[in-house]
Amino acid sequence: MIEEAVSLIGGARPSGAGPRDQRDGSEMSEDSTGVVRHGDRKREFTRGAILDAAERLLDRDGQDAFSMRELALEAGMAVTTPFAHFGSKSGVLRALIDRYNARIEALYMARGPAGDAIDRFFFMAEAGVDYLLQNPRLSKFVAGSLLTATEAQSHVGLRRNNEFLWRLALQDGAPFLADRESLWRVLLPQQAVVSFRGALALWVAEGLTDNQFRAVVANSLVIILLGFAPPEHRKRITDRTQPVE
């Protein structure tokens, strides 16, 4: 299921966003007829091939010490090509973060999440954890670059990109408190990002096992959601708690 989902990389996008490339999760522009230009397709295919090569190097070598020359060799391209598309090695790592976000979104959408916003919040967390645990070693290298990057290092903002996944899970927002909508629309995605990154940091640093990582993420959402859930929904939220063993 995960392998099928990562090949889809689509799903709901913010208003005005272009179609995502199937290889790296970036967006392509369309002409006035809605057709993606050939030059954009070629560019995104090249970017995807470079990111594929970066993932192979990270997974094979067990470290992120590869050079841009080694990356170009692995991708079968001129040494100038990765620089032309990403500018630097940190640019490659940031693009890998965007690719992970796109694949988590694709997995979430492929599973056809049902239920209300409470259910979908937990489904999004499960999609994120499931994807990261598909290849824990590689995921930890990519996640490590996320944890050390700054907002200024991403052209769209790392936090905003992550918050989009949680806003997607909220959708109509039912059954959260209607008289607090102006608060939870902002705070729930923000706090979900903070909590997920906190658990991610501990997992990357070997402070949590894979199973503990999953449980801590779920328990963090329980605490966050209780702040805006009506009394009649609180038991079903607390029932989602998991032991951290």
Report the candidate in 93, 88, 204, 97 with the shortest Cα–Cα distance to residue 158: 97
Q: List b or e across 134-149, with b for residues whose CB sees 16 or more CB atoms inside 10 angstroms.
A: eeeebbbbbbbbbeee
Q: Which pLDDT belongs to residue 62?
A: 67
pTM for the full predicted model: 0.80
CATH topology of domain 11-89: Arc Repressor Mutant, subunit A (1.10.10)
Report the SS3 class of residue 20.
strand
Round to whole Å and give the CA distance between 41 and 29. Answer: 9
Report the SS3 class of residue 27.
strand
Q: Is 13's pLDDT higher than 90?
A: no
Round to whole Å and give the CA distance between 228 and 184. Answer: 7
Report DSSP state, residue 78.
Answer: -
Residue that wins the pLDDT comparison between 141 and 209: 209
**Average pLDDT value for the chain:** 84
| Tens digits of residue pLDDT in 20-64 | 444 455 555 555 555 456 678 999 999 999 999 999 999 887 666
Round to whole Å and give the CA distance between 170 and 19. Answer: 22
Domain boundaries, the chain: 11-89, 113-245
Round to whole Å and give the CA distance between 188 and 170. Answer: 9
| Tens digits of residue pLDDT in 124-176 | 999 999 999 999 999 998 888 777 765 555 444 556 678 999 999 998 878 99
